[in-house]
Amino acid sequence: MNELFTIVQHFHPQGTVTDIRPLGTGLINDTFRVTTAEPGAPDYVLQRINHHIFCDVDGLQRNIEAVTNHIRRKLEAGGAEDIDRKVLRFLPADGGKTYWHDGESYWRLSLFISRAQTFDSVAPYYSYNAGQAFGRFESMLVDLPGSLTETIPGFHDMELRLRQLREAVRTDAAGRVKEVGRYLDEIEQRADGMCLAERLYREGSLPKRICHCDTKVNNVLFDEEGGALCVIDLDTVMPSFVFSDYGDFLRTAANTAAEDEQDLGRIGFDWDVFCAFTQGYLDSARAFLLPVEIENLPYAVALFPYMQCVRFLTDYLNGDTYYKTAYPGHNLVRTAAQFRLLQLVEERQEKMRAFISANV
């Protein structure tokens, strides 16, 4: 822990640091809350960036700076108040970059947004606000000059994720392929349909935009009244299809259970959350969305449980090398839970289509 105190000092925080303790439940980075003594000094969030997954930390932080500065300027131009609660602010470290390399790990420090809350599941009212927040996030970035790095190349490329799964099956590094035949069949049956986005992109009819690409419900900060304050966890902000942001939020928020629920009977699809989120998203994004993007939103709701099922299963077959796991078989439990959710979404495709056409 002393080591963490030393690292924080490279960012020259205001006030005296009195406490540093783990924060949140992310599966990739290690996150800590940094508390300062003085009432006037802010608290901070310290993160160790997982550079085995995000290999180009410099490019990643340049993306985040470009995005947060752009949003900050827009908020300022629009006369917004309390801007440090609406967009993340990263501190420069010694050397001038917004990260510090201690020879082994990469670290970054941002302002802690106080009086904010995160949730692993939300009521419809919150979902409407979150939908609006993600639509606004994308719309503020439609005119971002220059291009962003793909911090994980092909991150939401379904064709790539399937190739990675097939490779894991071929290698069978952990000797687990024999246990998962049922999931492999279910996945292969749907593979063609699920790669629709890549086909539309190749034909030139579907654009990539700057998306958040990890819109899990716990990556939105809400204020005390349930308003969406700020979108966090910006490592994966990159060019992608809008399906990423729309689909991944519903994957987590509309699921009535956790993404790793063991009792499949508890997994449900919350229709009211779907409706509220969709309305919020369309209210702030309909001005820039193309018909092909709107028409395929129901596909996006299925795509993300499917993709996550493929990714968790791939990691299971590879011997659990990517996601943090809490117990043996955790990635297989996650696979089963995502597959169950996918089935529930598939049953509701027509109903979703009707709701979206009535609300555009």
In the list 214, 293, 315, 320, the residue contacting ligand GN1 (rule: CB under 6 A) is: 214
CB of 291 to Mg ion, least distance (A): 32
CB of 63 to ligand GN1, least distance (A): 13
Closest alpha carbon to 133 in 246, 275, 237: 246
Question: Per rule CB under 5 A, is residue 233 in the interface with Mg ion?
Answer: yes
Residue 284 near residue 313, CB atoms below 8 Å: no
Work out what residue 169 binds among ligand GN1, Mg ion, none; the CB cut-off runs from 5 to 8 Å by kind: none
Residue 36 or 233: the one with the smaller Cβ distance to ligand GN1 is 233
310 and 186 in contact (C-beta within 8 Å)? no
Q: Which long-range contacts (CB under 8 A, 24 or more apart) does 5-9 make?
A: 7/46, 7/100, 7/102, 7/107, 8/34, 8/44, 8/46, 8/109
Contact stretch for ligand GN1 (CB under 6 A) within 22-30, 40-48, 67-75, 346-354: 22-30
Nearer to ligand GN1, 17 or 221 (CB): 221
**Interactions with ligand GN1, residue window 121-180 (CB under 6 A):** none
| Strands 220-222 and 17-22, bridge-based pairing | unpaired
Q: Which is nearer to Mg ion, 29 or 149 (CB)?
A: 29
- The string of DSSP letters for 172-237 reads -TTS-GGG-HHHHHHHHHHHHHHTHHHHHHHHT-S--EEE-S---GGGEEE-TTS-EEEE--GGG-
Q: Does 138 bind Mg ion (CB under 5 A)?
A: no
360 touches ligand GN1 (CB under 6 A): no
**335 interacts with, out of Mg ion, ligand GN1, none, CB within 5 to 8 A per kind:** none
Of the ranges 23-31, 59-67, 112-120, 190-198, which one interacts with ligand GN1 (CB under 6 A)?
Answer: 23-31
Tokens of 57: 């930390």
- CA distance readout (Å), 63 to 16, 29, 202, 207: 30, 17, 25, 19
Quick note: the x/- pattern for ligand GN1 over 277-316, rule CB under 6 A, is -------------------------------x--------
- The residues that touch Mg ion, with contacts defined as CB under 5 A, are 26, 219, 233
